Amino acid sequence: MTLKIASFLSPGAEAFYRFLAEIIAYKLELEPPDFIQGDTFKEFNTQEFDLVFACGFWYVHRAELYDPLVAPVMAATRYQDQPIYFADLIVKQDAPIWDLSQLKGKRFGYNEEYSFSGYKVPLSGLVNEPAYPDFFARVVKTGSHQNSIKAVANSRVDWASLDSTVLEHAVSSLHRQVKVLSSLGPFPAPPLLISQKLSYQHRYKIENTLLGLSSSVLGKFGVKAFDPVSRAFYDQFFTIKQKISAHQLLPTSGE
């Protein structure tokens, strides 16, 4: 048996998720996994996998096919030994912006339309009341969280919202050029999703394999441990999904 495993998280963390896929296959005494680094929500939404590392907000769109199994506990102290993350709102280091009210009329950069921390946060009203044409001077698609950081640092946009773990692992030259204006959350960390078609025996072995990984193994990836999670842990995302229309989009502008 060969497990079909995908990661739809940051390409910068591909080595970590590929490593986990190989460990799982080895512990289950299976063939090396068929691993892919996915890219788009369309891929996630139209293909089926045995295991998927994905955003919790993406999970709620396919909850009829997958169950959340475990989620990472990041090593940094801000995560308080919980499987959580934040949406960090960033501006340029020397920008005269000190609170959320000053974002009105500014240029916003986002990675892609199905990103929770990068795009759905403004849509959900967590930053502002959804009077989008009046709030945003311009909305620019950057293509990735890393590109959003670069866009803020290079003054192509005035602010962006992104996954806190991505910002923490950004190269230092970029990190020094931006500052965190506000951190929203915490939100449930991206889970490992398991197909409901896999047997209980596989589920049990996979869960125990990841829960048993030591901090010394995980630490080089900035992860302290994995915790078991359930559907109820992601209730917040189900609520936000109901609040946001599937076709509700910000008025994207050209460069």
> Whose CA is closest to 218, among 8, 19, 52?
19
Query: Looking at the domain assignment, is residue 125 inside a domain?
Result: yes
**Beta bridge pairs of residue 108:** 139, 159
Specify the 3-state DSSP secondary structure of 84.
Answer: strand
**Residue indicated by tokens 């078609």:** 197
Question: How confident is residue 112, by pLDDT bands cut at 50, 70 and 90?
Answer: confident
> Whose CA is closest to 100, among 87, 112, 110?
87
Query: Looking at the domain assignment, is residue 248 inside a domain?
Result: no
Which of 170, 187, 204 marks a domain boundary?
187
Residues 250, 74: Cα–Cα separation, whole Å: 31
Give how many domains the chain has, as a whole number.
Answer: 2
Q: Among 134-138, 180-184, 208-212, which range has the highest average pLDDT?
A: 208-212
Backbone φ and ψ of 97, nearest 5° = -125, 125
In whole angstroms, what separates CA 125 from the centre of its chain?
A: 19
Q: Kindly state whether residues 215 and 93 are assigned to the same domain.
A: no
> Whose CA is closest to 208, among 216, 196, 200?
200
Q: Kindly state whether residues 183 and 215 are assigned to the same domain.
A: no
Q: Kindly state whether residues 95 and 175 are assigned to the same domain.
A: yes
Instruction: Note the pLDDT of residue 55.
Output: 94
Instruction: Note the pLDDT of residue 131.
Output: 52
Instruction: Provide the domain limits for residue 148.
Output: 84-187
Query: Looking at the domain assignment, is residue 249 inside a domain?
Result: no
225: domain CATH number is: 3.40.190.180
DSSP codes of every residue in 153-193: HTTSSSEEEEEHHHHHTS-HHHHTTEEEEEEEEEEEPPPEE
pLDDT digits (tens, 9 = 90+) for 43-67: 999 999 999 999 999 999 999 999 9
pLDDT exceeds cutoff 70 at 76: yes
pLDDT exceeds cutoff 70 at 133: no
Instruction: Note the pLDDT of residue 84.
Output: 97
Q: Kindly state whether residues 66 and 97 are assigned to the same domain.
A: no
Contacts of 63 by beta carbon, 8 Å cutoff, 6+ apart: 231, 238
What sign has the CA pseudo-torsion 47, 52, 55, 61?
A: positive
133: domain CATH number is: 3.40.190.10
Q: Kindly state whether residues 127 and 48 are assigned to the same domain.
A: no
User: Residue 217: enclosing H or E segment and its boundaries?
Assistant: helix 215-218
Instruction: Note the pLDDT of residue 242.
Output: 80
